[in-house]
Amino acid sequence: MKAFGETRRVAKSVRRRKSEAPRAWQRMLSGRRLDLLDPSPLDIEIEDIAHGLARVARWNGQTVGDHAFSVAQHSFVVEEIAAHIQPGLDPRWRLAALLHDAPEYVIGDMISPFKAALGFDYRVFEESLERAIHVRFGIPARVPSPIKALIKLADRACAFFEATQIAGFGHEESLELFGRPPPGYSLTIEPMSAAAAQARYLERYHLLAEAAGAAPADLAFDTE
């Protein structure tokens, strides 16, 4: 009886510690419950990503115009730039470009200086979520280095246009920070409403996912 009583005491203590632990999951509008510390591809939906990214502002909202420049809009511009830099880019890698900032639907768009200040732990968390997103949509968990470099180049090019047109940076300052945009590509930034950016992001996803043969966004998973 003494051993049984001790077992009950330990079990009760474990349940209490679990109930007292800080919540580490987020409920999505799709109904999914995403564990932020151990994200599962089964709990990731493209509609949640598009909805969230369309409402996350680049540059911490320090931009001109009636609408914030959303991460969703930034993402489909980066995909377009990547395809301009490398014509004939495989749809799978164009999809990777579209999803390059997808983790921010959960963690927000943290400006680069703050990411650097937070250091390694933040990047480990971001990369864990990125891997789960890639698995969910049929992209290799780790994108090949040349593709990663291409997406980064397109990302910096988009940042140059954003910085000079809507974020208050000077031309020379932007060249120093982000480099020169790719030859033959020009862009006029016109921030979209959240609803318009969300719709455009989903449209690009469906076109690219179909071309790449990626997992469809409406794939039914057991939510239990």
The one-digit pLDDT tens for each residue of the chain (224 residues) are 455 455 455 445 444 544 555 767 888 899 899 988 888 999 999 999 999 999 999 999 999 999 999 999 999 999 999 999 999 999 999 999 999 999 999 887 665 555 565 555 667 778 889 999 999 999 999 999 999 999 999 999 999 999 999 999 999 999 999 999 999 999 999 999 999 999 999 999 999 999 998 654 443 333 33
* CATH number of 159's domain: 1.10.3210.10
Residue 76 lies in a domain: yes
Residue 89 lies in a domain: yes
Structural domain total, the chain? 1
Residue 149 lies in a domain: yes
Domain span including residue 91? 26-212
Residue 19 lies in a domain: no
Residue 146 lies in a domain: yes
Output Rg (C-alpha) for the chain, integer angstroms: 20
What is the pTM for the complete model shown? Answer: 0.82
Torsions phi, psi of 34, nearest 5? -95, 120
Residue 176 lies in a domain: yes
Residue 17 lies in a domain: no
CA separation, residue 172 to residues 78, 164, 223 (Å): 21, 9, 51
Residue 133 lies in a domain: yes
